[in-house]
A = this chain, B = another copy of it.
Amino acid sequence: MNRTALLAALPLAFAVPAWGQEEAEPVTPASIVAASAPEEWVEIDPDHILVMRLADNGSDAPRDVVIQLLPEPFSQPWVENIRTLARAHWWDGTSVYRVVDNWVAQWGGGDPELDMDPGPMPDGVLDTQGLAYPSTASDLHRPLVEEYLQNAFEGIVDSRIAWLDGHAGFPRTGYYADLEVWVDGWPISAGDGGETVWPVHCYAHVGVARDLAPDTGTGSELYAVIGHAPRQLDRNIAVVGRVIEGIEHLSTLPRGTGDAGVYEDRAEDTPIEWVRLASDVEESEHWRYEYLDTTSDSFAAYVANRANRHDAFYEVPAGGVDICNVQVPIRQIPAE
């Protein structure tokens, strides 16, 4: 008996709820986020939000790239330099000058080999030479990381652990670390039994461009990842943030055809109108965002679902997920 005949044989009053049950919505990452409680969201400090406005290219909307800066204890000397440079309007008039497919889009200035010089560094820029990228786990992180490690080694599955490095005899320590977790809304790796933690490179994450090691860069030249997570850069370069809105304004730019993907001619660059901390932008209330607390039950359900998609589209649950395939939900807070 097909459905049409079944419905035809039933009075509408019965047919509708029956139909409704058959059509029950499957649980998806989106439905979990939609069902989350308001108190599970955390507002991002406006001093942690950087807005970069690219020059108008004739599109009807401004091309704004919104970057969330990395919180303590990670990369703070570089993050401080970025705040100093933004407050000095140092990036205004610089450009996006390098774009490499499946790699990075890079901007800023000060490279003597490029025909653009925004002038000397403003006062207050810190000397970052010789600083290390990983951090000693702070008191903030250690209890959480240790709990995760404990659970992991006991084989207790906590879906807020992305994945654990594991196979004895396999030389993976370091890359996948002891484990990878989310702390304060950010994906991080933890090594040395949880004593050392460092931020990772995922799609749209922002890092500090630098010359050859041991140079560490000042923060005046930055890049955003526009391809598969280049995890080999972890601990080799300072991660300082992630693009939370407008990454497409960088990922769609023409790829550079010069050395290392630098545009051959400065005329190919995309000019940057200005870069400001959200707290310094007019109508700053427009630039308010919140993220789903990564210790919340909704986030745990969100990760578990991403690791085991099984709905109208997915027939075979993966049974696991790469930490870079779990974008932490971030949304704009509507202006009152």
Interface residues of A (CB under 8 A from B): 101-102, 152, 154-157, 163-176, 202-204, 212-214, 227-232, 234-236, 247-248, 251-255, 306-307, 309, 312-322, 324-325
**A252 contact from B214, B228, B234, B253, Cβ within 8 A:** B253
Q: What secondary structure prevails in chain A residues at the interface with B?
A: loop
Q: Which residues of B contact A156 (CB under 8 A)?
A: 169
State whether B163 touches A172 (Cβ < 8 A): yes
**Residue among A170, A229, A234 having the largest count of chain B Cβ atoms under 10 Å:** A170
**A173 contact from B231, B319, B321, Cβ within 8 A:** B319
State whether B318 touches A175 (Cβ < 8 A): yes
State whether A101 touches B247 (Cβ < 8 A): yes
Q: Which residues of B contact A320 (CB under 8 A)?
A: 165, 170-172, 174-176
Give the oligomeric copy count: 2
Q: Which residues of B contact A325 (CB under 8 A)?
A: 228-232
**A232 contact from B170, B202, B231, B318, Cβ within 8 A:** B318
**A316 contact from B167, B236, B247, Cβ within 8 A:** B236
**A155 contact from B166, B170, B230, B317, Cβ within 8 A:** B170
**A164 contact from B167, B173, B174, B175, Cβ within 8 A:** B167
State whether A321 touches B175 (Cβ < 8 A): yes
Known A319-B172, A325-B232: A255·B252 in contact at CB below 8 Å: yes
State whether A318 touches B155 (Cβ < 8 A): no
Known A203-B228, A252-B252: A315·B157 in contact at CB below 8 Å: no
Q: Which residues of B contact A175 (CB under 8 A)?
A: 307, 318-321
State whether A212 touches B312 (Cβ < 8 A): yes
State whether B231 touches A322 (Cβ < 8 A): yes
